[in-house]
Copies of this chain bind each other. A is one copy, B any other.
Amino acid sequence: MAIQFEVHAQEEEARCGLLTTRRGEIETPVFMPVGTAGSVKGIRFEELAAADLDARIILGNTYHLWLRPGIEVIKACGGLHNFIGWDRAMLTDSGGFQVWSLTEIRKVTEEGTEFRSHIDGSLKFLSPEISMEVQSVLGAEIAMSFDECPPGQIEHDAARQSMELTLRWAKRSKEAFHELQAGSLRTTGKMPALQQALFGIIQGGAHLDLRRESLERTAEIAFDGYALGGLSVGEEKPVMLDIIEDIAPRMPADRPRYLMGVGTPEDLIESVARGIDMFDCVLPTRNGRNGQAFTARGKLNIKNARFATDTRPLDEQCSCSVCIRHSRAFIRHLYLAGEMLASILLTHHNLAFFLDTMRRVRQAIRSGQFAKFRREFTEQLSSGLE
């Protein structure tokens, strides 16, 4: 097995586990910062790895890296870890979601997806086989199956068609993945089948029957882990939580359960409570660049005039390096002056908040206090800033 996973503690559906990769151990539930184009925007890798954040795994986007700098460059530089200078674990997505969310799709066929690059408008084609080949060059510890990501409000019939396509693509993904690993074995004499894990993705829109069927048939293909895809894509929040609540506990208990692209601090806690182990989301980095800080008492918009001479840290309960050193007044000034440091500091704090929240979640589950933690955390989040 390329990865190992053990659940060490459980409180109702909430699980605390250990995911072991060739590049280190990852305690779950875990939040994975998103390194879209080879960089978690606005932060240096040293800081991601230092004790203040201690991110154990980050996400790289296959779609972005495939278009730029391209696979030949990354191959010439020895794979994604070497290229970007990050020696801890990584997960790459399959490109399916980005193609859907960023590009003008020309045609979805049985073979794959034809679309226009968001960078230069050129015509591109992505398929399970191409995605696996790209992800094999990237060389992350965890690769994702190539899927179709339908919109959140998709009707039952269309959702079934899309789910069936995703299932056929999942089989092709797995076959291509194993051929690539075996081919690499023949070429290098090493055992790369041990090096990468492949996760399957459960689709089915907002239709529970389809979601259950997608889970069952994806599990039959047998992956190293399973992800819930196509959530937080326009459906109502209660719909998302209902799907997670129904599906997550049915996902194989001995494999990591990954909720893709989600979400707010509340979403993380509520999804952990429903049995999810892994998360990724651009919220802490993107919102940081837009002047928003996540705090224990909810969101803080640094542009607000009330912070002009506020010498308190972004979050009075936070002990990250930003909150120890800098005031709301200073960060507000930086933001209004267009200083890059505003984005840098807000990004760092937001990642600290997300990663620290997950540390507290794990601690709570281990000590059987998760229900209490969840209640208090949620109450405080909605209590508002002083």
A residues whose Cβ falls under 8 Å from a Cβ of B: 37-39, 41-46, 64, 68-69, 72-73, 76-78, 82-85, 308-309, 311, 321, 325-327, 329-330, 333-334, 336-337, 339-341, 343-345
Contacts and interface: CB of A to CB of B under 8 A. Distances in A.
9 contacts: A38-B333, A38-B339, A39-B341, A46-B321, A46-B325, A68-B336, A73-B333, A76-B309, A85-B327
Contact of A339 (B39, B321, B334): B39
B334 A38 contact: yes
A212 to B, nearest CB: 40
A160 to B, nearest CB: 38
Contacts of A345: 44
Contacts of A336: 68-69
Contacts of A344: 42, 44, 340, 344
A330 B85 contact: yes
The complex is assembled from copies of this chain, and their number is 2
Nearest to A342: B39
Given A83-B329, A84-B330, 18 more contacts: A39-B337, A39-B339, A41-B340, A42-B340, A44-B345, A45-B325, A46-B325, A68-B336, A69-B308, A72-B309, A73-B309, A73-B329, A73-B333, A76-B311, A83-B333, A84-B326, A85-B326, A85-B327
Given A73-B308, A327-B83, A68 B337 contact: yes
Given A77-B309, A337-B68, A339-B37, A330 B83 contact: yes
Contacts of A39: 334, 337, 339-341
Given A85-B326, A330-B85, A78 B337 contact: no
Contact of A327 (B68, B77, B325, B341): B77
A309 B321 CA distance: 35
A34 to B, nearest CB: 13
B77 A329 contact: yes
B325 A37 contact: no
A213 to B, nearest CB: 39
B85 A325 contact: yes
A83 B46 CA distance: 26
Given A68-B337, A337-B37, A341-B39, A330 B44 contact: no
A384 to B, nearest CB: 24
Nearest to A311: B77
A139 to B, nearest CB: 15
Contact of A41 (B43, B82, B325, B339): B339
Nearest to A119: B337
A338 to B, nearest CB: 9
Nearest to A43: B341
Chain B CB count within 10 A is highest, among A44, A72, A84, A311, for A44
Contacts of A326: 84-85
A333 B45 CA distance: 16
A330 B44 CA distance: 13
